Amino acid sequence: TTEYENGAAVKVKAKFRVYSSYLVALSDYVGLLSRNPRYTAVTQAATPEQGAQALQNAGYATDPNYARKLTSMIQQLKSMSEKVSKAYSTDLENLF
């Protein structure tokens, strides 16, 4: 994995948890955020973008651009969701 030390990207071998399912992984992640006072601002954020910044501020990731990258992904997902929603709400009978 890549960690940032003194502003420089450094490749590090690290062990990661292994989960039996996405549900178990997500439950563990939610537990981390909700039980650790370090992440209080994350769980109280008004928007996903504020939550991303709160994660970075709490030291969740060492990448100095973590919040910006996460916010970019959030915006892409929102845009995709809006497009899919519009596609499924279109009157399909008028297409043919």
Per-residue confidence (pLDDT) for residue 83, from 0 to 100: 82
- What are the pLDDT tens digits along the chain (96 aa)? 999 998 899 999 999 999 999 999 999 999 999 999 999 999 999 999 999 999 999 999 999 999 999 999 999 999 888 888 777 776 666 555
| Active-site annotation, residues | 3, 28
Per-residue confidence (pLDDT) for residue 90, from 0 to 100: 65
Contact 65, 54 (CB under 8 A): no
What residue ranges define each of the domains in the chain, with the CATH number in brackets? 2-90 (1.10.530)
Per-residue confidence (pLDDT) for residue 44, from 0 to 100: 96
Per-residue confidence (pLDDT) for residue 11, from 0 to 100: 96
